Structure formats: structure tokens, C-alpha cells
Amino acid sequence: MTQLSLTLGYVPGGTPAKWARTWSERHPEVPLELRLIAAADAAAAVRAGTVDVAVLRLPTDTSGLAVIPLYEETTVAVVPADHVISAVDEIAAADLDDEPILVPLDDVLSWADAPGAPAQHRPETTGDAIELVAAGTGVLIVPQSLARLYHRKDLTYRPITDAPSCPVALAVPEGPQPALVEEFIGIVRGRKPGSSRAQAQPVPKRTAREKTLAKQAARAAAGKVAAKPGRAGRGRR
């Protein structure tokens, strides 16, 4: 491995902590830098080399990138804690038909038929939209991780059962990857130490003949051990 460090970009709501812990356990000599990047800038950051790899949300422009799907997030509606939908565990999209929907400029959803009517004012960021939800001016529809990220005691959220999910993926530049990037991809995919593609040589396996000879040697050794008590018994007679 020729790189001295690895930079992982992740969008708001991304949770790279588990992978970072595994990386530090396996490669304590190679720093892993975590860098928070706006969802709209994540793909461009990988293409520009600002980060070596990024956890980003789809859909987005992934030209020039290799994309590895990770998981699908539940879509939720964020509402004031005393909102009528807080009385149920989950809702359908139709339950929001009469609600003003806040759509921030950094919106990460791609839901063409979203319920409700878009609020006239578009807040700059998701954080700004959260403030407006708390003020009672509308409902915010986001991936569940963003609802958790901006959690407040005066707000709650409910899953929307018939909403499209929010895909999350790992993105790297197209083409052959540096050894450190391959190692990180292996960690994300759950490969055990020693099974990564980054390993230079696999552990050599014994041939069939070597296994046979080992078994024969083990049986011979077991026979010698078993014979000793018999000889001792005859001597005592």
C-alpha cells in the first residue's frame, strides 16, 4: 500500500462510524479521515479526488464513478410532536394530501408524485426546514437518517409506507482501485481479515497428498500411544 492515508466522504445522515472502527483495528498505521460533504457535492468530490471514496445518496450524477449499492433508507414525514399523525406508528402518502410540504433546496428525495402541496417558500437547507416544521408551517419528507440527525423534542416522524425508499451507495472512481480503497471496499462488504482483494497472497493450502500423509502420520502416532498400556499390562501379569 503506497498511500499514507485514506479520505472517506459522507453525506449528512451517513453513518460511517462502524467502518471507521474496523479500519482503525485492521490498519492503525493508516489514518482514515472522515469528511462531511453536502449531498449535492459528494459525487463531484470523488471525481475531483477531494475524497478517495464517498457514501452518497442516489439518484445523483455518477458519471465517471463505480457505484456499490449499500442499503435502502425508509422515507419519513417529520411533523410537530402534537401533530395528528403522531398518534399512529406509520402513515400512507394520502395522509399528507392536505399538508403543506417543505422542500428545501438541498432536498435529497426523488419523489415525483409526493403528496401534499409544496410550500411557497423553499428553505435553504434541511436544517432550516426543520425549524419551519417546529414553527408549524409545514411537513418535511426526508430519509429516516436525516430525521434522526435533526431530532428535536418538539418534533417526531413517521414512516410513509408507500413512499419510495432512499438508496445509499459507496462511490469510487471508475477503473482499477488503489490497494487502500480496495481494502475499504472489502470492509464495507463485510470481508473478514485475510479475505480482502488487497491481500497480496492467499494462505497456501495443503495438497491432497500432504493431507493423506498427515492423516497417516496421525494414525501411526495414535497406534503407538494405544499400544503402550497393553505392554504395561502384560508386564504386570
CB 6 within 8 Å of CB 180: yes
Q: State the Cα–Cα distance between residues 168 and 60, nearest whole angstrom.
A: 11
Q: State the Cα–Cα distance between residues 57 and 72, nearest whole angstrom.
A: 10
Where do the domains of the chain lie?
Answer: 6-72+167-188, 75-164
Local structure of residue 41 (DSSP, 8 states): G
pLDDT class of 21 with cuts at 50, 70, 90: very high
Q: In terms of DSSP bridges, do strands 166-173 and 65-73 run parallel, antiparallel, or are they unpaired?
A: antiparallel
- Overall pTM > 0.75: yes
Beta-strand (E) ranges in 31-148? 32-36, 53-57, 65-73, 75-80, 100-102, 117-118, 139-143
88-92, 189-193, 195-199 — which one is most confidently predicted on average?
88-92
Kindly compute the dihedral angle of the four CA atoms of residues 157, 161, 162, 163, in this order, to the nearest 10 degrees.
30
More confident residue, 217 or 67: 67
**pLDDT for 202 beyond 90:** no
**Residues 6 or more apart in contact with residue 136 via CB below 8 angstroms:** 80
Q: Look up the CATH superfamily of 75-164.
A: Periplasmic binding protein-like II (3.40.190.10)
CB 160 within 8 Å of CB 32: no
pLDDT digits (tens, 9 = 90+) for 140-186: 999 999 999 999 999 999 999 999 999 999 999 999 999 999 999 99
Nearest to 142 by CA among 75, 58, 95, 80: 75
Asked, colleague to colleague, whether 6-72+167-188 and 75-164 share their fold, the answer is yes
Helix (H, G, I), strand (E, B) or coil at 161: coil
Phi, psi of 197 (to 5 degrees): -65, -20
pLDDT digits (tens, 9 = 90+) for 76-121: 999 999 999 999 999 999 999 999 999 999 999 989 899 999 998 9
Nearest to 51 by CA among 14, 106, 105, 104: 14
**Residue at grid coordinates 428525495:** 109
At residue 224, the pLDDT reads 42
At residue 204, the pLDDT reads 38
**pLDDT for 220 beyond 70:** no
Q: State the Cα–Cα distance between residues 162 and 94, nearest whole angstrom.
A: 9
At residue 198, the pLDDT reads 43
What's the CATH fold of domain 6-72+167-188?
Answer: D-Maltodextrin-Binding Protein; domain 2 (3.40.190)
Helix (H, G, I), strand (E, B) or coil at 90: coil
The amino acid occupying position 197 is R
Q: Is the dihedral of CA 190, 59, 38, 12 positive or negative?
A: negative
